[in-house]
Amino acid sequence: MIPLQCPPLDAGWSRRVLTVLALMVIGSFVAFGSNLKHVHTGALVALNAFALALCAYYFWLLFRRLQCSLVELCLVIGMLGNVEGILLTTPSLMGSPGMWALLPLSAAWIVAGAVKSSAQCALLGITAPLRRAGMLLLNWMLLASPALLLAGGVLYFGQHMAEAFISRGMAEWGFWMIPLGALGCIVGVMMEIRVTRAARALLGASAS
Amino acid sequence: MNDSAGNLPDLKPLAQWYVHRWHRALWFLPLTVGLMGLIAVLLVRGSMEDPRANYEKSRAAVAALKRAPVPDEQNAWLVYERARGVRVIWVGHSDTDPQYKTDGESEIFALEDVQIHWKDNAAAIALLHSAGDMSECDMGLDQVANPFSLPSLLNTRECANLLAIDARCQALAGNHKAAAKSLRAIRRLARHLETQPLLLNQMIATSFDAMVNEVFHAIICFDTPSTIDDLEAYKHALAGPGEPFERAARCLKYESAVFLYTFDGAAAGLMKPQTRNPPIGMMPLWYGSDRNCYLGVIGDALQSFEQHRWPEGFDDSIQRHQRGPSVITHMVGTTPRAWLALFVTEERARVAVTAAAFLQFRAKHGRDPKDIGDLVPTFLPQVPMAALFDTPVRWTSEPLNDSADRPYISTFYKDRKSIRIYTVGLNGIDEGGNGNYMVVPGENEPDDATFYIPALERVAK
């Protein structure tokens, strides 16, 4: 990981724009909670705008402000190709405009994982390509673990209440997603503590 | 890009970016929602299908159901429409409206208003009789252009009511052959509805068959026919359509073809309700698994009907075929009650015919038969069997203390002895002719399909 210059990694306004868009997504659900049609339209517009902005932000960080090894680049390209390819080749998915947000959101997840992994490697002093690749995979998992935990909970515990929507097979998947997501969350918190401590030490040393 | 990252002189901007994470924590919420959507897609992806490709096939399947056009002079539907045109509607008080009393006591049909109403409708009734004699019926509906198009079922129901009024008035006047002719015309109307065997049409046809059984039941109570010829006429009119399994299978095939056409069209956005409508905006996620589950459940039911057995548990069938969300299939899972009604009505038609034969035996010999076998071959070609189980129709004269049967039956037989001719019903248990007047009885209620006739002592008095 190589920060090329000393100025701040990103511009403050870009973070604010993204935060406003994220709030709009949350707001669209809260404001139109009783009207499915408005939730559908509002969430579609806000989520797509947010997802595209998030993609742009992380892509810019990854390719303009950071550098990664060839192994990591290959992994990012491979993951992007697979996930986007799966979505694009899923029958009937393109028939639903609401699903379009999934494409930029999944791309944002992959690039955000790559950015976070690069940052953690730099702060922890990890330089070996294979270890950096491992960190990349771990970060994708950690970013997805709350979603895994929540989705697993909904599938496993919601099956009895909504068996028309959740089959038994889906509930069985949910059973395994819960511990996996919980483990990911725990590891994620531990990793955050460790990296934050390293970052603060670095900031403290530079201030002194 | 480096093959490996080296040591860097200044990590301060990076450390600052990493420590200031509160913005990113907020972004994480919608991202997590999106990732949950991604997980959902990955889970159900294997069962997702392209509705446009299916739509072409299902459209062709519905187009193949279209019957050859029927010449106007042979088309019973046009005669039914003419009858509706000349029908005179009831203008009297709603309390004495005879169309709601056709399975009740006879007094109402003796009222002057009712007699006038009946005579005013003579032309319409004559047309309905002539329509009943016709073999072809074409409602002129195009399922491809409008998949669930139906005739005016209310008008059709009023035609059946008019025939039922005629049957009761004729029976009251002692013209039992004419009454039997009207009952037969109701049966024919039901069969004509079945020429387009959508589920709703089938249910209405079943209700007409049930109406015939009930009107005859009331006639036996209040205007009992006594001659062998009159009873013979009723017996012919009452003979049910038979083949309940075949009729159920035919209806299921037709209904499922039309349903799939509509479902595919809606998912492909080619037919209302379109996918842009919010409630089914997520349809692509569950369309494929739902369609396959529906096909599996219908396939199981069809197989059972074709093997002449009742489908074993629709809920189990859904569980067996469900691979993902199956919203529509769970809704369709309620239709077994429609098939139950079809079988219950068929059972009741069989016991009604047996009752007519029983009364013929009594009229000829002045006594009751020892068992149903005594009716064969003079009054019945063979011992009638239940529709669902391979068991013969039975009869009993044992008193019934606590009957949950029709209100007019309970009132009529309160101080009278009765004979009950019955089949074991859908639960297969002989409950001594204890039935329930509901079309489809509750799960733990006695469900023998029962027909009451007055005991011989009563007639002798």
How does pLDDT run along chain A (208 residues), one tens digit per residue? 444 445 667 777 888 888 888 888 888 777 665 665 566 666 677 888 888 999 999 988 888 778 777 888 899 999 999 999 998 888 777 766 667 788 889 999 999 999 999 999 989 988 888 899 999 999 999 999 999 999 999 999 998 888 888 888 899 999 999 999 999 999 999 999 999 999 998 888 766 6
B74: pLDDT strictly greater than 60: yes
CB A90 to CB B45 under 8 A? yes
Write the residue in B30, B281, B326 that is nearest to A47 by C-beta: B30
pLDDT value at position B269?
77
Identify the residue among A92, A130, A148 best suited for mutation to test binding to B, counting B beta carbons within 10 A and taking the highest: A92
List the one residue out of B87, B340, B129 whose CA is nearest residue B237. B129
CB B267 to CB A92 under 8 A? yes
pLDDT value at position B393?
92
Chain A residues within 8 A of B29 when measuring between CB atoms: 22, 25-26
Confidence at B374, pLDDT banded by 50, 70, 90: very high
Q: What is the pTM of this model?
A: 0.79
Q: Minimal Cα–Cα distance from B328 to chain A, Å?
A: 8
d(CA B441, CA B10): 82
By the CB < 8 Å criterion, does A195 face chain B?
yes
Q: In chain B, what percentage of residues exceed pLDDT 90?
A: 42
The SS3 call for residue B395 is strand
Tokens, residue A163: 């068996």
d(CA A2, CA B166): 96
Confidence at B5, pLDDT banded by 50, 70, 90: very low
By the CB < 8 Å criterion, does A169 face chain B?
yes
Q: Residue A60 class from Cβ within 10 Å (0-12 exposed, 13-18 middle, 19+ buried)?
A: middle
Residue pair B117/B98 in contact by the 8 Å Cβ criterion: yes
The ipTM of this complex is 0.89
Q: What is the mean pLDDT of residues B150-155?
A: 81
Write the residue in B1, B26, B276 that is nearest to A68 by C-beta: B1
B332: pLDDT strictly greater than 80: no
Chain B residues within 8 A of A122 when measuring between CB atoms: 5, 8, 11, 14
More confident residue, A125 or B275: A125
Q: How many CB pairs under 8 A join A and B?
A: 227
What is the signed CA dihedral for A9, A12, A15, A20, rounded to 10 degrees? 180
Q: Minimal Cα–Cα distance from B316 to chain A, Å?
A: 12
pLDDT value at position A175?
94
Determine which of B179-183, B327-331, B382-386 has the lowest per-residue pLDDT on average: B327-331
Confidence at B9, pLDDT banded by 50, 70, 90: very low
pLDDT value at position B2?
43
pLDDT value at position A193?
93
By the CB < 8 Å criterion, does A139 face chain B?
no
Q: What is the mean pLDDT of residues B118-146?
A: 92
Confidence at B236, pLDDT banded by 50, 70, 90: very high
d(CA A143, CA A160): 29
Over residues B19-64, the pLDDT tens digits come to: 888 888 888 988 998 899 899 888 888 888 888 889 999 999 999 9
Nearest CA in chain B to A149: B36
- The DSSP-derived string for A29-66 is HHHTTT-HHHHHHHHHHHHHHHHHHHHHHHHHIIIII-
Task: Look up residue B422 and give its DSSP letter.
Answer: E
Q: Minimal Cα–Cα distance from A23 to chain B, Å?
A: 8
Write the residue in B36, B42, B330 that is nearest to A150 by C-beta: B36
The separation between CA A174 and the C-alpha centre of its own chain, rounded to angstroms, equals 20
Tokens, residue A95: 């028939």
B68: pLDDT strictly greater than 80: yes
Q: What is the mean pLDDT of residues B237-254?
A: 88
Determine which of A141-150, B114-123, B275-284, B373-382 has the lowest per-residue pLDDT on average: B275-284
pLDDT value at position B182?
97
Chain A residues within 8 A of B41 when measuring between CB atoms: 86-87, 90, 93, 99, 102
Question: Which position has the token pair 């009943």?
Answer: B132
Q: What is the CA radius of gyration of chain A?
A: 19
By the CB < 8 Å criterion, does A58 face chain B?
no
The SS3 call for residue B442 is coil
* Paired residues of B418 in beta bridges: B454
pLDDT value at position A32?
63
Most confident among A130-134, B119-123, B424-428 (mean pLDDT): B119-123
Write the residue in B19, B32, B278 that is nearest to A146 by C-beta: B32
CB A143 to CB B35 under 8 A? yes
